[in-house]
Amino acid sequence: MKKPLILVTNDDGITAPGIRALVEVASKLGEVVVVAPDSPQSGMGHAITVSAPIRLHPVEVFEGITAYECSGTPADCVKLGRHVVLKGRRPDLCVSGINHGSNASINIIYSGTMSAAMEASLEGIPSIGFSLLDYSHNASFAASKAFIRQIMEWVLTNGMETGSLLNVNIPNLPADEIKGLKVCRQADARWVEEFTEAVDPRGQKYYWLTGRFVNDDKGEDTDISALEKGFISIVPSMHDLTNYRAMGGLKGLEAS
């Protein structure tokens, strides 16, 4: 059987420990090609670079593995990976991460990791974004690897609905304390903003974004609930943002 082709990317940049862990797992399951940002891109959401040139360079970062660093966003990396690096070759799977920090709940809309996975899904490529609930650069990905391999193998065997992607978040626990995998919906939580206001060395005022994550969604079927109980959360996600339930209520606007 031909080895599957796996495109790997992330948003923390090609030198982040998280992508190294993901490449290690992926290279046991297939032929790996890496196209990742040359610098951290957290909080980039689904940004794409339309008004500037993008650079792409082959790099030797992972032994024996084809890898490119890209000056663009995570979504750019997937576009360039698919159409420039791989040319006509179609990946069997795209994996993004392992992100240093949670992308559960509303974080999916701010996440470069998940936007890369969504970009691949738009091309009909099964795709998964992986995130570990540890924001530190020195996060340990050891416990995550066996679970990530399990999920990747399952998707390679069973495929995925076209246009769908998986948002996988892993609690920051030792392997033997992780309870298993749980398929969930996205919790309806949000960030409550707080800005730090300060003055720079040249006397100019600036703001720096901080925030508190607030979850008022007490459903037992959410990703946040699963993570709190020690499960790995798996949310099947998609790019159709239509709020179908709200359509009826707008009929009056149509007739207005």
Classified as helix, coil or strand, 194 is strand
Q: Which CB atom, from 27 or from 71, has the smaller least distance to a second copy?
A: 71
Distance CA 44, CA 57 (A): 21
- The angle that helices 17-29 and 144-158 make with each other, rounded to 10 degrees, is 50
Q: How many CA atoms lie within 13 A of 156 on its CB side?
A: 23
Q: How far is CA 161 from the centre of its chain?
A: 18
Residue holding tokens 């998280």? Answer: 18
Residue 182 phi/psi, 5-degree rounding, is -135, 130
- Nearer to a second copy by Cβ, of 6 and 75: the residue is 75
**Residue closer to a second copy, measured from CB, 22 or 232:** 232
DSSP-derived secondary structure letter, 253: H
Q: Which is nearer to a second copy, 130 or 140 (CB)?
A: 130
Least Cβ distance, residue 89 to a second copy (angstroms): 15
Q: Provide, rounded to whole angstroms, the least separation between the CB of residue 63 and a second copy.
A: 26
Residue 167: CB minimum distance to a second copy, A? 8
Output b/e per residue, 207-237; b: 16+ Cβ within 10 A: eeeeeeeebebeeeebbbbbbeeebbbbbeb
Residue in this structure with the two tokens 């079927």, named with its chain if needed: 221
Query: Which residue carries 């570990």 as its tokens?
Result: 132
Instruction: Return the number of the residue (8 or 70) whose C-beta is nearest a second copy.
Output: 70
Q: How far is the CB of 147 from a second copy (least distance, A)?
A: 10
Tell me phi and psi for residue 246, to 5 degrees: -85, -5
C-beta closer to a second copy: residue 14 or 160: 160
- Shortest separation between residue 175's beta carbon and a second copy, angstroms: 16
Give least dist CB 177 to a second copy, A.
18
Query: What is the identity of the amino acid at 82?
Result: R
